[in-house]
Structure 1
Amino acid sequence: MKKLIPLFLVFTFINIFSQEYHFDYSIESQTNQIKPNKEKSVSTTFYDSKNNIHLQIDKYNDKLRGVIYDKDKNLRHSFKVTESKGFVTFEYIHTNDFNKEKHKDVANGDILEVNKIDSLQYQIIGYKNEKRTKKRFSALITLEKSKFNYLVIGIDHGKSDEMREKVKEFLDPNSIYAVKRIHIDYYSTGYSYDSSLKITNVDFSLKLPEKLTIKDFDFLGEFQD
């Protein structure tokens, strides 16, 4: 099992900058896929706790790309990531603007159910209908008390923000929590996996050029440069 990117890095940036994202935590995820095939992987994302923004590192054909999706602005920023002799360079490539596109989430009508197992474990179920006879997914979330708030529910679903708010209703308002582990079963696709998260402090900034290069989204095209 090979880590996607080292935790201790030196970051350099290319271009004239305007907007800046500051990342203060790294989240290392160890994922064991159970179905349809058994696979293990380790990945690292970086987290801006002030603005609730992630820098996701993707790998395809041995090429690395860094991606920031700014949900408030509906913009997706891509960076070429180069590793060499212990240094990592992030070079801005382009931005995808989704403001003009209309996305219909087929799961918007799902009914969510959150059950408390104990003070640090919660079950979340997404039902496809109001009768709650067909499940889209179920998840077991394990929390831990933390120095900073990280209630990011890593479920591929349009109502992940609503899930977080429903879990928060059960929590002690005088304590701070972070997600430690999550087990998910997607009944619609047949995927099941278990992920454990390790959170550490970092301190670096990533900046955008003054003039953004807008391109249509193309996943494979991201890795052509």
Structure 2
Amino acid sequence: MKKLALLFLVFTFINIFSQEYHFDYSIESQTDQIKPNKEKSISTTFYDSKNNIHLHIDKYNNKLRGVIYDRNKDLRHSFKITETKGFVTFEYTHTNDFSKNKHKDPAKDDILEIKKTDSLQYQIIGYKNEKKTKKRFTAWVTLEKSKFNYLEIGIDHGRSNEMQEKVKGFLDPNLNYIVKRMQVNYSTGYSYDSSLKITNVDFSLKLPEKLTIKEYDFFGEFQD
């Protein structure tokens, strides 16, 4: 996946385009799974710092797909990625529309507790009940001052955006911060430690004027 960050120089488009997404940062995440098994993985995400849009790169059966999830519109755009002789081609395939199918979040009534342990370190605890006797997760977040804001809280929870806003409330509004490292322990027994490496990039992806709407199917994304 590291190779991708160096190859996004030439893109082929074959449709008439409308909306364009521009990405100015590459975010490489290294995750060390601690429980239940010790495993290491590296993933790459591209970030549009102006509009807070992510391009996630997924790999399955040696096939690459790029996914942009536009939260404001509840649309998920998929691209087929092909590597040929050192060049990378993005080909738009389809869009998933989640605006009419929003799933109920079973953790929407959780009690969130955020503690500032240092100027750049925070503890986030999600409790399953008001008495705070049962935890859903505990996370330790380490920040770093940066040229731009990237406060994405990578916790598998429906209210991660709320956690982000609450952490932001502790910070100096005149400075920029990024999440440099996170350690998360879930009550299910799964835990991991992740760190980020951020570099500058400069490329754009465009959507066709007419979107192709399909039902979401993870495995179907990798059939072609």
TM-score range, shorter chain: over 0.9
TM-score scaled by structure 2?
0.96
Q: Give RMSD over aligned pairs.
A: 1.1
CA distance in 1, matches of 2:107, 2:10: 39
CA-to-aligned-CA distance 1:42-87 (integer Å, 9 cap, x gap): 1110001111110000000110000000000000000001112221
2:47 pairs with 1:28? no
Deviations 1:139-179 (A, max 9, x none): 10000000001111111111111101111121122221111
Aligned equivalent of 1:219: 218
The 2-side partners of 1:158 and 1:65 are apart by: 24
Equivalent residue letter for 1:111: I
Deviation at 1:133, TM superposition (A): 0.6
Opposite residue 214 of structure 1, the aligned amino acid is: I
Is 1:13–1:207's contact at 8 Å kept on the other side of the alignment? Answer: no
* 1:181-220 superposed matches below 5 A: 181-187=181-187, 189-220=188-219
Residue 186 of structure 1, CA deviation = 1.4
Q: Where do 4+ consecutive residues of structure 1 move more than 2 Å?
A: 3-6
Cα distance in 2 for partners of 1:193, 1:65 equals 25
Q: How many residues align structurally?
A: 222
Match of 2:52 in 1: 52
Q: Which residue of 2 aligns with 1:121?
A: 121
Q: Which amino acid aligns with 1:7?
A: A
CA distance in 2, matches of 1:132, 1:80: 45
**Following the alignment from structure 2 to structure 1, what is the Cα–Cα distance between the partners of residues 109 and 85?**
50
Q: Percent identity?
A: 78
TM-score of the superposition, structure 1-length normalised? 0.96
Matched, 1:146 2:146: yes
Distance in 1, matches of 2:11 and 2:126, equals: 42
1:5 deviates by 4.2
Amino acid at match of 2:36: P
User: Equivalents in 2 of 1:102, 1:44: separation in Å?
Assistant: 27
* Structure 2: stretches of 5+ with no match in the other structure: none
